[in-house]
């Protein structure tokens, strides 16, 4: 059932108080632009809620991290993922084994391969790289050594 807002009431109500912009016919149906904007607001709120939940979940995994001197193979996957997020990497939606980071100095793509950790610093980033630079690190290296090498940049 569609309820049209009478023109006498429309004139009295400021646009900010209406539930959504009125169409040109005066119908009380949301315009496609309003529906899209509302969807983005809901998605943004949902994204913030998901990010807050991820931070809370990461806190638990970060507490379980072994000492920095332990080899990376001694860490569980959830601990490694929480650690990567804590140092500025974001997990790719397309490939869960791929992580990306963008700093003011470099952009990188990190992948957790079966035998080693692989990082590629991208020439398309803000640095002065002539070509992409790749490095591979064994999971036998300590988390501290890998963190220092990765965050040191190309």
Indicate whether 18 belongs to any domain. Answer: no
User: Among 26-30, 38-42, 72-76, 85-89, whose mean pLDDT is lowest?
Assistant: 38-42
Indicate whether 27 belongs to any domain. Answer: no
Take residue 111 and report the two structure tokens written for it. 């992948």
Indicate whether 34 belongs to any domain. Answer: no
Indicate whether 78 belongs to any domain. Answer: yes
Indicate whether 24 belongs to any domain. Answer: no
Residue 57 phi/psi, 5° resolution? -65, -40
Contacts of 9 (CB under 8 A, 6+ apart): none
The pLDDT value recorded for residue 128 is 79
Indicate whether 13 belongs to any domain. Answer: no
The pLDDT value recorded for residue 30 is 59
Range(s) of the domain holding residue 90: 64-151
Indicate whether 95 belongs to any domain. Answer: yes
Q: Give the mean pLDDT of 121-141.
A: 90
Could you give the CA distance from residue 121 to residue 51 in angstroms, rounded to a whole number?
Answer: 26
Indicate whether 135 belongs to any domain. Answer: yes
Determine if the pTM surpasses 0.85. no
Q: How many domains does the chain have?
A: 1
């Amino acid at each position: 059932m569609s309820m049209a807002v009478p023109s006498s009431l429309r004139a009295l109500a400021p646009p900010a108080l209406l539930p959504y912009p009125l169409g040109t016919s005066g119908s009380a149906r949301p315009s496609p632009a309003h529906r899209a904007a509302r969807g983005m607001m809901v998605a943004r709120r949902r994204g913030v809620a998901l990010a807050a939940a991820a931070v809370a979940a990461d806190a638990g995994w970060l507490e379980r991290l072994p000492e920095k001197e332990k080899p990376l193979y001694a860490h569980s996957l959830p601990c490694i993922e929480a650690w990567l997020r804590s140092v500025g990497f974001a997990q790719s939606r397309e490939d869960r084994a791929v992580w990306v980071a963008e700093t003011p100095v470099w952009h990188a793509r990190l992948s957790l391969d079966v035998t080693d950790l692989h990082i590629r610093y991208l020439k398309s980033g803000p640095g002065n790289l002539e070509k992409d630079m790749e490095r591979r690190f064994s999971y036998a290296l300590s988390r501290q050594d890998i963190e220092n090498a990765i965050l040191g940049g190309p």
